[in-house]
Amino acid sequence: MAEPQTHQTPQPLLQARDLCVEFPLPRRRTLKAVNGVSFDVYPGETFGVIGESGSGKTTLGRALVSLIRPTSGQLLQDGVDPGTLSRAAMREHRRDFQIMFQDPNAALNPRVRIVDSVMEPLEVAGHRDARANREAALQAMARVGLPAAFADRYPHQLSGGQKQRVIIARALTLKPRLIVCDEVVAALDVSIRGEVLNLFADLQREFGLTYVFITHDLSVVSHISDRIAVMYLGCLMELGPAEALAERPLHPYTQALLSAEPVALPRSMRHERPIELRGEIPSPVDPPSGCPFRTRCPQATDTCAASRPAWQERRPGHWVACHHAQA
């Protein structure tokens, strides 16, 4: 697998090389949720990941923060292979890499006061000073716009947006360097999405955070990402600078996604008619031979069934896996 060569930047915070995550199924079958992805995430950037439901985004996100072990391939976090760390070293190391999920209701225990939820990661990380933990939690809450009056409330007394702020505060207490944000605004009313996205942007500037921003919603990711990766059936189809990817997508799948969601695009790029994708996403238990997208691709030929297209840098910083992509 080729290395990206165009970035003259500091060491990537994440480096994935041919990363695979498989789940064993009965009768010796396996489900390839993440199927050989390679990319780097650089300090301070927002790395968007888009893909339809079931394409492996959450599994990838969990692997990136070491919540699941890759089945094969390599993952380096700040140059370190987490698989080689002792338990004690891992406990320190993993604070830098946090993940936040979509549903604040599922993430918050209804019987636990807000401040106790926010300080929980500190306790889990071994900080025993309850007063210091509470103080740190209150500070994190203040930073996300939750005054101390919220500290002793319970989740049901908060709005959806406020609950999402609690989740953000909780991730901040550990002072992470990178946060995987998995569909973090999907459950929010459209009216407060912008507010929460702005908060993410503010926190990024203030703390130099790096985000991997996972979503099925193109309009969300295109507004906040520096680069965007497009995932399909566990594979990366395309990866490039957000603007280039939106304005001149190289992969037929990206083109179809964009044409189906014209509001995410500049007017000049909007298609008259959406490109129709035939059929359903195939099962990751039994993916198509060759290119995973070929069964739905308007441009598919015999070559696409015969071999999986190489992951190639076709324009500077713009990668694609397609036999027919024109650079």
Residues interacting with Mg ion, by CB under 5 A?
57-58
Query: Of the candidates 8, 53, 84, 191, which one interacts with ligand ADP according to CB under 6 A?
Result: 53
Q: How far is the CB of 52 from Mg ion (least distance, A)?
A: 10
Q: Which two tokens stand for residue 34?
A: 């993440």
What is the C-alpha separation between 237 and 252, in angstroms, rounded? Answer: 9
Question: CA quadruple 271, 231, 221, 325: dihedral positive or negative?
Answer: negative
Site membership for ligand ADP, residue 58 (CB under 6 A): yes
Q: How far is the CB of 102 from Mg ion (least distance, A)?
A: 7
Cβ 23 vs Cβ 30: under 8 Å:
yes
User: What is the Cα 217 distance to its own chain's centre?
Assistant: 12
48 Cβ neighbours under 8 A, 6+ residues apart: 213, 214, 215, 221, 222, 224, 225, 227, 228, 229, 242
Q: Of these partners, ligand ADP, Mg ion, none, which one is at the site of residue 55 (CB under 5 to 8 Å by kind)? A: ligand ADP
Site membership for ligand ADP, residue 56 (CB under 6 A): yes
54 versus 160: smaller Cβ distance to ligand ADP: 54
Find the part of the chain contacting ligand ADP (CB under 6 A) among 11-19, 47-55, 101-109, 186-194.
Answer: 47-55
Q: Which two tokens stand for residue 323?
A: 């036999």
55 versus 117: smaller Cβ distance to ligand ADP: 55
Task: Name the residue type at position 205.
Answer: R
Query: Of the candidates 15, 35, 46, 59, which one interacts with ligand ADP according to CB under 6 A?
Result: 59
Cβ 196 vs Cβ 15: under 8 Å:
no
Nearest residue to 259 via CA among 296, 295, 227, 218: 218
Query: Of the candidates 57, 94, 165, 170, which one interacts with ligand ADP according to CB under 6 A?
Result: 57
3 Cβ neighbours under 8 A, 6+ residues apart: none
Find the part of the chain contacting ligand ADP (CB under 6 A) among 53-61, 145-153, 173-181, 310-318.
Answer: 53-61
Q: How many residues bind ligand ADP (CB under 6 A)?
A: 12
Find the part of the chain contacting ligand ADP (CB under 6 A) among 7-15, 57-65, 199-207, 301-309.
Answer: 57-65
> What letter would DSSP give residue 83?
G
Query: Of the candidates 12, 36, 48, 51, which one interacts with ligand ADP according to CB under 6 A?
Result: 51
Site membership for ligand ADP, residue 240 (CB under 6 A): no
Site membership for ligand ADP, residue 31 (CB under 6 A): yes
Q: How far is the CB of 231 from ligand ADP (least distance, A)?
A: 7
Cβ 229 vs Cβ 47: under 8 Å:
yes
Nearest residue to 232 via CA among 27, 23, 34: 34
57 versus 296: smaller Cβ distance to Mg ion: 57
What is the C-alpha separation between 264 and 286, in angstroms, rounded? Answer: 32
Query: Of the candidates 36, 73, 284, 292, which one interacts with ligand ADP according to CB under 6 A?
Result: 284
Binding site for ligand ADP (CB under 6 A): 23, 31, 33, 51, 53-59, 284
